């Protein structure tokens, strides 16, 4: 995708999602293997915590699509059985324990949710453009709070979160900006609904803070475009997209193709990040 720059030279408009930007910021080599290399190098085995997260997201979507009178906390058990994704678990016993845990999270969470509060959207795709970026993404739930859209992101991980995570999330900020553009109304509140902890973390952005998130996203996009240009111009692949090894490498889908990542962190079992 291209736009004309001020000097008449073509300027690339970087088409992305928040995950794509985060991938480059976290490790350019992982970004390359995810978004640049074709065919994509084979990934490692699927992760059980991702399967559990996807299942819970699907249940919450399906719950809102039930007729109003069926939206009860207890309805989540059947929805979970229907939506269950079995990838990555060690065995049937571990799956059964994870199912019970997830039903508990869902029932507790749904007791706090007003089933009459119809959201603006579920897994709603929103998009926006700037001079450098065409960013799009899918919001787990876009609430309607007295006419103002609120970005809701579900979390099921075991790590502790805080309001700083809601404030500092570039993804949530970009979703708020894109939701405002898509719905043509202000959107400043973002929320992390951490089901496994039974907590909600909120932040109300100022326009200045949203602008700062956007500028950082544009800088990451510019860096990614420059890396691709270097590669096209013949630079060595690891100069254009260097590895950024660290503890996170234990969780990287491309660890087996990355000697630096293998040296940085031991491999993890596919179920190692399941919440206990
Ligand atoms: S293993 Fe680590 S350094 Fe290697 S690609 Fe993955 S995140 Fe990057």
For residue 105, being part of any structural domain is answered with: yes
Amino acid 9: pLDDT: 52
For residue 1, being part of any structural domain is answered with: no
Cα-to-centroid distance, 159 and ligand 1 (Å): 21
Q: What is the dihedral of CA 40, 43, 48, 52, to 10 degrees?
A: 0
Q: Calculate the average pLDDT of the chain.
A: 95
Pocket probe mutation, ligand 1, options 254, 259, 266, max atoms within 8 Å of Cβ:
254
Q: Residue 155 is part of which domain span?
A: 121-212
Whether residue 126 sits in one domain with residue 167: yes
CATH code (residue 154): 3.90.320.10
Counting from 1 in the atom list of ligand 1, the atom nearest the Cα of 245 is: 3
Amino acid 5: pLDDT: 41
For residue 154, being part of any structural domain is answered with: yes
For residue 91, being part of any structural domain is answered with: yes
Cα-to-centroid distance, 137 and ligand 1 (Å): 24
Pocket probe mutation, ligand 1, options 33, 238, 255, 267, max atoms within 8 Å of Cβ:
255
Domain boundary among 212, 241, 260: 212
Q: How many domains does the chain have?
A: 2
Comparing CA positions, the residue from 115, 106, 55 lying closest to residue 82 is: 55
For residue 233, being part of any structural domain is answered with: no
Whether residue 205 sits in one domain with residue 127: yes
Chain position carrying tokens 């404030």: 167
Whether residue 135 sits in one domain with residue 86: no
Whether residue 144 sits in one domain with residue 92: no
DSSP string, 105-170: HHHHHHTTS-TT---SEEEEEEEEE-SSEEEEEEEEEEEEETTEEEEEEEE--SS---HHHHHH-H
Whether residue 165 sits in one domain with residue 135: yes
Amino acid 3: pLDDT: 44
Cα-to-centroid distance, 33 and ligand 1 (Å): 10
Domain boundary among 110, 129, 148: 110
For residue 201, being part of any structural domain is answered with: yes
Counting from 1 in the atom list of ligand 1, the atom nearest the Cα of 254 is: 6
Domain boundary among 110, 137, 158: 110
Pocket lining: 23 vs ligand 1, CB cutoff 6 Å: no
Amino acid 276: pLDDT: 74
Whether residue 99 sits in one domain with residue 55: yes
CB 180 within 8 A of CB 131: no
For residue 173, being part of any structural domain is answered with: yes
Counting from 1 in the atom list of ligand 1, the atom nearest the Cα of 246 is: 2
Flag residues of the chain having pLDDT under 70: 1-12
Whether residue 92 sits in one domain with residue 68: yes
Whether residue 89 sits in one domain with residue 145: no
Whether residue 89 sits in one domain with residue 130: no
For residue 35, being part of any structural domain is answered with: no
Whether residue 174 sits in one domain with residue 129: yes
Whether residue 76 sits in one domain with residue 54: yes
Whether residue 153 sits in one domain with residue 88: no
Amino acid 6: pLDDT: 41
């Amino acid at each position: 995708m291209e736009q004309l720059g001020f000097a008449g030279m073509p300027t690339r408009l970087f088409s992305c999602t928040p995950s794509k930007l985060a991938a480059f910021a976290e490790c350019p080599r992982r970004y390359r293997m995810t978004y640049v290399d074709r065919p994509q190098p084979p990934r490692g085995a699927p992760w059980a915590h991702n399967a559990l997260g996807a299942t819970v997201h699907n249940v919450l979507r399906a719950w809102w699509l039930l007729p109003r009178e069926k939206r009860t906390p207890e309805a989540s058990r059947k929805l979970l059985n229907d939506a269950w994704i079995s990838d990555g678990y060690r065995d049937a016993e571990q799956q059964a324990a994870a199912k019970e845990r997830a039903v508990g999270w869902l029932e507790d969470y749904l007791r706090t949710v007003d089933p009459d509060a119809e959201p603006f959207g579920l897994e709603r795709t929103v998009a926006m453009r700037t001079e450098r970026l065409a960013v799009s993404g899918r919001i787990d739930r876009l609430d309607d709070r007295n006419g103002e859209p609120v970005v809701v992101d579900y979390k099921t991980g075991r790590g502790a979160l805080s309001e700083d995570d809601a404030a500092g999330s570039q993804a949530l900020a970009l979703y708020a900006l894109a939701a405002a553009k898509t719905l043509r109304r202000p959107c400043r509140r973002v929320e992390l609904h951490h089901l496994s902890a039974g907590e909600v973390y909120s932040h109300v952005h100022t326009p200045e803070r949203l602008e700062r998130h956007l500028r950082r996203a544009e800088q990451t996009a510019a860096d990614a475009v420059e890396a691709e240009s270097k590669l096209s111009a013949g630079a060595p692949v690891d100069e254009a997209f260097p590895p950024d090894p660290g503890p996170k490498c234990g969780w990287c889908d491309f660890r087996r193709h990355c000697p630096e990542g293998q040296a940085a962190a031991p491999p993890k079992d596919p179920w190692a990040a399941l919440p206990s």
